[in-house]
Homo-oligomer: A and B are copies of this chain.
């Protein structure tokens, strides 16, 4: 207990071997006799030896570090993703550096500055775009980049097909006979043009058109993601349609839908009797609120992204796929019914 940090040299001395041998024994490399290895291990244990990761990395060149960059760790989607990611990365003995970046300027700054460069072997960006220029810089610098929960430029990704998810939701409503359908879209002011949104919105438009309905702008409202904003959007839509509410509403995410449900309740409208509600995610509370939704397994996507990192680092046999589309599935509950 004397020395808080015994060094390899201490261990070697204690075991009566050279530095080189001690190092080999500890890393169980080939070419160390069983007896010697045992001696070294015993010395290490007794001295409470722990290798200095910095020295190891400096000497070996390996980094074994990956950056996980998220814009909103406090939101359900991101927590799930990070959880899934961390599990496989930690299992492979990689350190996970968590970076929380806010707005676009923050991200640019982050991607341009030091941290992402020589510090990590890979950076996983969770649900935000990296432009081609930045991607190239990172690549030049030796860091692989992987996108989880949304793709943008040309690098490996894992995410759901938003158009598919939106179509499942919309198709469900249309099949139930709905034609006057509103939409509450999610929107991130910090990432204009993020494809998640447009995929879901296109599905809305296309599905309506497929049944001969022209989308009505008064039935559509977009608000910032986050659990509390759906209510305001719902109110806005209701206010914009004094001639009567839509018979159904397609919401871009469950968290937004929770707010919409509240708004409807407060306006005296019953779900699903007066208006049906369907959204995307299958947040744990969706079940509690009997919300029909298109489910995605975000933690699983995180795990896949983690595997991709292992592939790029060569830790894992198997080619790196250029992209993985995660499955989605309609979960019908009590918030939707036929007209």
Contact surface of A with B, Cβ cutoff 8 Å: 1, 4-5, 48, 50-55, 57-58, 63, 68, 72-76, 78-80, 82-83, 86-87, 90, 95-100, 114-115, 117-119, 140-142, 226-228, 231, 255, 258-259, 261-262, 284-285, 287-290, 299
Q: Given A4-B141, A50-B118, 20 other A-B contacts at CB below 8 A?
A: A4-B140, A4-B142, A5-B118, A48-B141, A50-B114, A50-B141, A52-B118, A54-B54, A54-B57, A54-B58, A68-B98, A72-B83, A74-B76, A74-B79, A79-B79, A86-B99, A96-B97, A227-B284, A259-B288, A262-B290
Q: State the oligomeric state as a number of copies.
A: 2
* Contact A100–B95 (Cβ < 8 Å): no
A-B contact pairs, 9 of them (CB 8 A): A1-B140, A4-B140, A76-B79, A82-B98, A86-B99, A96-B97, A96-B98, A227-B284, A231-B288
Contact indicator B228/A288 (Cβ below 8 Å): yes
| Cβ-closest chain B residue relative to A120 | B53
Which residue of chain B is the closest to A139 with respect to CB atoms?
Answer: B4
**Cβ contacts under 8 Å, A53 to chain B:** 118-119
Taking the nearest CB of chain B, how far is it from the CB of A137, in angstroms?
A: 8
Determine the chain B residues whose CB is within 8 A of the CB of A55 once the complex forms.
54, 58
- Cβ–Cβ contact A288 & B78, under 8 A: no
Chain B residues within an 8 Å CB radius of A142: 4-5
The 4 closest A-B pairs by CB, nearest first: A227-B284, A79-B79, A74-B83, A54-B57
